[in-house]
Chain A
């Protein structure tokens, strides 16, 4: 047999093989269950309201706020500059460019943090890395940044400095009057989930 006839035969054979095997829809999920569990345990996606307020006041251009609540809720109230991507639509090709980019850090928020976390989990599994979740959502944001409570006078200086910052941030970001229209169901679920500030205080006090 001539070599080229052999080559043609091999090509046709390979063609038959590839036509008969099921098409490989390469797994869309980039992270294994274990990697995902590690990511959840680390909790590094959580963005504390203080940190976000700092970014917003400094007009950090690399921050992009994404509101994953429904468009109705978004219409009623949303943070300045936020983009509305309802949770149901996060996989829509229209929004792909929002996630699939390496320039901006997306901070997702909802009223509590459940909805935002749902979205984060799915997007993180798809391999998108530059995504954070606003800790405690709008509820906690309102509590901490928009209407900060003055600390007891006996607290250390850095607590008072933090309060001063929050008061300033509140004014700068139009706080005081802002109230997040939280749905009661989510608040109830979310309240216990709000990461206690103690965790943050502990190292600060120690140092």
Chain B
């Protein structure tokens, strides 16, 4: 049956409307989880608040289990689901830059928009920074191009690389998440911080 648009069950024009609804839902969840507070996000790095880890991992696990069960019930053809290609060096360097921005500013791109929407000035400045970064990257792309495409690994899935089935990997990820949540809450007790 699914995915709906590649299988032409609904027209491709629905893409934007669906993205719009999901985007609003995503923003709502970010705000509800308290992610428009940069202190909460920074708490992840200092250990006094690990809700970021918990929310994102719960989201990932829910989607992962959902897709696997949908595939099991023949509701979705996973081979038609787009998997972002892996460019190893881009991913590593981009991850470092993103992490630096995350800890220095206290936002990631999505949460900055949430925070700007509730009127936080630092978030608005952060968004200006995002566009500045995009502009610099765009203008210097010819210089960065080789690095950008270096380490092209295609679109491998972790379970294929490890040679195990998707279901076993899912179980391992769930167990890893449960352990991380437990460690996270231990850290919250260990490094408490009041009034943030």
* A residues adjacent to B (C-beta < 8 A): 8, 11-12, 14-16, 18-21, 23-24, 26-27
Query: B113 in the interface, Cβ–Cβ < 8 Å?
Result: no
Please list the 5 inter-chain residue pairs (A to B) with the smallest Cβ-Cβ separation, ordered nearest first: A15-B171, A15-B174, A19-B171, A18-B167, A19-B167
Q: Are B65 and A26 in contact (CB under 8 A)?
A: no
- Kindly report which residue of chain A lies nearest to residue B2, judged by CB atoms: A26
Q: How far is the CB of A107 from chain B (nearest CB, A)?
A: 23
Complex: A19 Cα to B174 Cα, angstroms: 11
- Kindly report which residue of chain B lies nearest to residue A7, judged by CB atoms: B58
Q: How far is the CB of A148 from chain B (nearest CB, A)?
A: 41
Say which one of B41-49, B71-79, B90-98, B130-138 lies at the interface with A.
Answer: B71-79
Q: Are A15 and B170 in contact (CB under 8 A)?
A: yes
Q: How far is the CB of A83 from chain B (nearest CB, A)?
A: 24
Subset of 10 A-B contacts with CB under 8 Å: A8-B178, A12-B175, A14-B65, A18-B68, A18-B167, A18-B171, A19-B167, A23-B167, A24-B72, A26-B76
Query: B181 in the interface, Cβ–Cβ < 8 Å?
Result: yes
Q: Are B175 and A18 in contact (CB under 8 A)?
A: no
**Which residues on A sit within 8 Å (CB–CB) of B78?**
26
Interface residues of B in 125-184 (CB under 8 A from A): 165-168, 170-171, 173-175, 177-178, 181
**Which residues on B sit within 8 Å (CB–CB) of A26?**
71, 74, 76-79
Q: Are A19 and B77 in contact (CB under 8 A)?
A: no
Query: B69 in the interface, Cβ–Cβ < 8 Å?
Result: yes
Query: B187 in the interface, Cβ–Cβ < 8 Å?
Result: no
Number of interface residues of B (CB under 8 A): 23
- Kindly report which residue of chain A lies nearest to residue B169, judged by CB atoms: A19
* Cβ 8 A contact of B74, one of A12, A15, A24: A24
Q: Are A12 and B79 in contact (CB under 8 A)?
A: no
**Which residues on B sit within 8 Å (CB–CB) of A23?**
165-167
**Which residues on A sit within 8 Å (CB–CB) of B175?**
12, 15
Interface residues of B in 21-79 (CB under 8 A from A): 61, 65, 68-69, 71-72, 74, 76-79
Complex: A16 Cα to B168 Cα, angstroms: 8
Q: How far is the CB of A125 from chain B (nearest CB, A)?
A: 15
Q: Are B65 and A15 in contact (CB under 8 A)?
A: yes
**Which residues on A sit within 8 Å (CB–CB) of B71?**
24, 26
Q: How far is the CB of A70 from chain B (nearest CB, A)?
A: 29
Complex: A18 Cα to B78 Cα, angstroms: 15
- Kindly report which residue of chain A lies nearest to residue B68, judged by CB atoms: A18
**Which residues on B sit within 8 Å (CB–CB) of A18?**
65, 68-69, 72, 166-167, 170-171
**Which residues on B sit within 8 Å (CB–CB) of A8?**
178, 181
**Which residues on A sit within 8 Å (CB–CB) of B68?**
18
Q: How far is the CB of A96 from chain B (nearest CB, A)?
A: 11
Complex: A16 Cα to B178 Cα, angstroms: 14
